[in-house]
Structure 1
Amino acid sequence: MKKRKISLAEMLRRLEEKKLTHESLARDEKDRTWTLNVKRGVAAAFELSWDELSDDAKELGVLLSLFALAPIPWSLVESVETGKNIEQLEGSRVELKDLHLLQGKDSYQLHQLIREFFQLKQAKFNQVVEELKRNFCKVMVEIAKDIPDISTLQQINNVTAAIPHIAEVANNLIQYVSDDDLIWSFLGNARFYKGQGLYDKAAPWYNQCIKITQKRLGEEHPDVAQSLNNLAVLYRLQGKYSEAEPLYIQSLALRRKLLGEEHPDVATSLNNLAVLYSFQSRYSEAEPFYIQSLALRRKLLGEEHPDVAETLHNLAGVYNLQGRYSEAEPFAIQALALYRKLLGYEHPFVAQSLNNLALIYSFQSKYSEAEPLLIEALALTRKMLGDEHPDVAQTLNNLALLYNYQGRYSEAEPLYIQALELKRKLLGNEHPDVATNLNNLAYLYRDQGRYSEAEPLFIQALALRRKLLGDEHLDVAHSLKNLAALYCDQGRYSEAEALYIQALDIFERRLGADHPNSVTVRQNLADLRDRLPPNPE
């Protein structure tokens, strides 16, 4: 049906009759009277356009007002169940565009005032709007569910346009989401940012998820346990180990109580708590949790499952950190083979597994085996996650470490510097990984005899590790040992002796007197004392 054109006289008459006011258009400004009159006119003009719309087009306007104030892909609009067919939706879209209420082509942006105007009109479609809100939330929740815990660049690009609308559900429409789906709008946003290494942006979503689930579902619910676990994982990635631990413990206890001892979520909690203990150098506590998790995952999920590969990968890592290379290597090989079989050769978990195995080879001086794995891991991580991601920084560090071991200093130095800059940018200046990079770069300078450059970096790394990890952490012992070695190189034996004594004490208490680290530092201390002048009698 052809639309009737409105004459200038008719429009003026209607504007005089309507004089529509809108709360959002009536804010105080310098000339309130002038501003209010102008804005009344704008709102009245919207009202004139509204009167020209068919009922279907009005419903579409109301539906669009449910979306966030951000570009709206038309494909998302079509995904919402409206009771209208494609032809009806298309006709309504044309009406809105003809009246300049909607702008765009495949993606549309409502002006803020038009969006607010459409929101005011929701009351005229009360029953319809309630159903539209539920259907809109269902679509956004399903998109959120498809966002993986670690997202590739392609996956991030595919979902980016939907993120503000998923956030709109979490922030303003959560009452229309079912209990079963309650966590997903929060979790989807959190995963979107976490997958890019943007941990600070992910944290509010995880925190909000805990509050909402506890409020609606109660303190004892599996989704509460999952939400606690998710925030703990993020804290661990941020290096906030003391904040992560009680959340992991609470989540594990809750899952055991609600789900029983033999449940995949319990196995996940055991694995995650073990990861945290590994980062805290609490290896004797981590190992039994890994073993329990692996046995449980194999029993419940079978031998060929990504979760089984994850625990194999982690168990290899904790053995590697303890110098138990012959035990670590087969687990790392199994994990890599299983990830490749289940996830394909191009996946972030495959890149992490390549890194893990390469480190095991590096520590055993199997450099020719380690290097191609690290080069492959770096290329794969950059391809999948982009150049600015914590996993890229970690791989740069590992490759630099390998080159350092081989005396390839000119190749190692720029990689260490890149890794350090990237970790500072992504994780902040106070993070355990930053301390590790400072230590490693200092080690490189010491190996080259660049003592004046090495010393301040060693001192920064030691201070940061003590602050973040505590005085008893093995990384603190390594920093003490490295700084002592530097002082020995400079003939500063009395300063070195005190540091070696502190390092040896930590190693022997944490790892035992027969551990290679303890043996090495004890020999270093003995060699140092042979150089000291005899005490005068």
Structure 2
Amino acid sequence: MLDPIAEARRRLGLARRFYDEGRAGDAVAVAETALAVVEQAGGPNHPAIAGACVELSLLHERLSQFQKAEKYARRSIVITEEYSRNDETLVRLRVKALGCLALVERVYNRFGAAEVLYRSALDLAENGTWPQPQELAELMCGLGAVYLFSSRFGEAETLYREALTLVGADHPGAAVVWHHMAELDLMLSRFITGESYARRALALRERQYGEYHPTVANARAMLAAVLARQGNLEMSEKLYRKAISTFERVLPEHHYDLAVACADFGMLMAAKGNMAAAGRLAQRALDIKRRILGRNHPEVIQAIEDLAQYN
């Protein structure tokens, strides 16, 4: 009979494969069965439970189910706190759990808490012998995003460039860094370099995932946003339509990335004089953000203000 912990690991690997294939619902279902297996085999605080919780947190975050992502991340943090810091497998799990919770805190605009969590994760990771450059780069980009949305642009850019040096400019893992650098340059109106960074992120993600993957669609939406600000409205519209079509096909109906794309596409439609389309897109963005972020979130308030401009 297969060892229960080994069986749980097999199921978590299957869940990751399902997500990469665009089968997000199946991925969550399989990951939940993995958690049930280790809970039954090892008790409530077995370290393997922390691993299953991390995977479930990541999956729920990718599906914009942030409350569930937070629940699983916190459970993993509590479990890994109980075990020796000399066990690098558990330290690695703790780093991932801290990163998961930091991302949720960032989404909810709790930037102080997010910064503390990201720094804790980086401190643990940098003291270990196990981290892959891509893992560190993703944590650095997460902290950089906290700085970005706190208007600490210089600190964000420094982290992004350090992350790029760490992972290598042409490595598939560099896509996340190029994406964040494009977002920074978009916010700072540096559109020439922003376009270059967005194109590099899109090329790397297409090479890794193919044409119809939510990560690829997200990269298309970023490039569309940069091109729109440069006045290339026709190409931007094509990219937005393709990105939104992909999101609708592979993501849940209420997803953060879809809301962002709809809001930005609405601004483009308004710039082209199609106020009716702009209003429909803005309403859709508002409905999604209100559902997943709550009525009092700053992005929901901004979405209400955006919609008012088109009516």
Provide the TM-score with structure 2 as the length reference. 0.89
Tell me the amino acid that sits aligned with residue 213 of structure 1. T
User: In the superposition, relative to structure 1, how do residues 285 and 250 fare at CA in structure 2: closer, same or farther (>3 Å)?
Assistant: same
Distance 1:149 1:328 in 2: 32
1:275 lines up with 2:141 in the alignment: no
Partner of 2:295, secondary structure, is coil
Amino acid at match of 1:245: E
Instruction: Determine the C-alpha separation between the residues in 2 that align with 1:376 and 1:211.
Output: 41
Q: In the alignment, is residue 414 of structure 1 matched against residue 284 of structure 2?
A: no
TM superposition shift of 1:161: 4.2
Check conservation: 1:206, 1:230, Cα contact below 8 A.
yes
- The aligned residue for residue 66 of structure 2 is 199
Deviations along 1:71-108, one digit per CA (max 9) or x if unpaired, are: xxxxxxxxx62xxxxxxxxxxxxxxxxxxxxxxxxxxx
CA offset at residue 236 of structure 1? 1.6
> Could you tell me which residue of structure 2 aligns to residue 341 of structure 1?
207
Aligned mates of 2:18, 2:142 — CA distance in 1 = 16
Q: Give matches, 1:118-517, under 5 Å.
A: 135-148=3-16, 151=19, 154-169=22-37, 171-175=39-43, 181=48, 183-218=50-85, 221-259=91-129, 263-298=133-168, 303-305=170-172, 307-445=173-311
- The SS at the match of 2:259 is helix
| Cα distance in 2, alignment partners of residues 443 and 256 from structure 1 | 47
The code of the aligned residue for 2:230 comes to: Q
Q: Is the 8 A contact 1:401 1:412 kept in 2?
A: yes
Deviation at 1:442, TM superposition (A): 2.8
CA distance in 1, matches of 2:111, 2:79: 24
CA distances 1:123-160 after superposition (whole Å, capped 9, x unpaired): xxxxxxxxxxxx22321232124434994795233335
Specify the alignment match of 1:129 in structure 2.
none
1:216-252 CA deviation, whole Å, 9 max, x = no partner? 2349823322221121012222332222111011111
- Does structure 2 conserve the Cα–Cα contact (< 8 Å) formed by 1:317 and 1:356? yes
- 2: CA distance between counterparts of 1:234 and 1:213? 19
Q: Mean alpha-carbon deviation: is it higher for 216-225 or for 148-157? A: 148-157
Q: 1:261 to 1:382 in 2, by over 3 A?
A: closer
Instruction: Find the residue that maps to 1:217 and give its secondary structure.
Output: coil
Amino acid at match of 1:229: G
Q: 1:429 & 1:174 partners in 2: Cα distance?
A: 40
Length, aligned pairs only: 308
- 1:166 deviates by 2.7
Distance 2:216 2:207 in 1: 10
The separation in 2 between residues aligned to 1:174 and 1:193, in whole angstroms, is: 24
Structure 1 position 283, deviation (Å): 1.1
Change in Cα spacing, 1:159 to 1:315, as seen in structure 2 (3 Å) is closer
Deviation per CA, 1:343-363: give whole Å up to 9, x if none: 111111111111101111111
Specify whether residues 425 and 176 from structure 1 end up closer, same or farther in structure 2 by C-alpha distance, changes over 3 A only: closer
Greater RCO structure (CA 8 Å; 6+ sep): 2
Structure 2: runs of 5+ lacking an equivalent: none
Distance, in Å, in 1 between the alignment partners of 2:129 and 2:123 is 10
Distance 1:386 1:211 in 2: 30
In structure 2, the residue matched to 1:531 is none
Counterparts of 1:243 and 1:149, CA distance in 2: 32
Write the distance in 1 (CA, Å) between the matches of 2:22 and 2:211.
Answer: 16
Instruction: Mark the structure with the bigger radius of gyration.
Output: 1
Whether the aligned pair in 2 keeps the contact of 1:255 and 1:266 (CA below 8 Å) is yes
Aligned equivalents of 1:269, 1:196: Cα separation in 2: 19
SS in 1 for 2:208: helix
Q: Report % sequence identity.
A: 23
SS in 1 for 2:181: helix
What residue identity is the alignment partner of 1:162?
Answer: V
Partner-residue secondary structure (3-state), 2:64: coil
Instruction: State the one-letter code of the partner of 2:287.
Output: E
Describe the shift of the 1:343–1:177 C-alpha distance in structure 2 as closer, same or farther (beyond 3 A): farther
Distance 1:357 1:383, change over 3 A: same
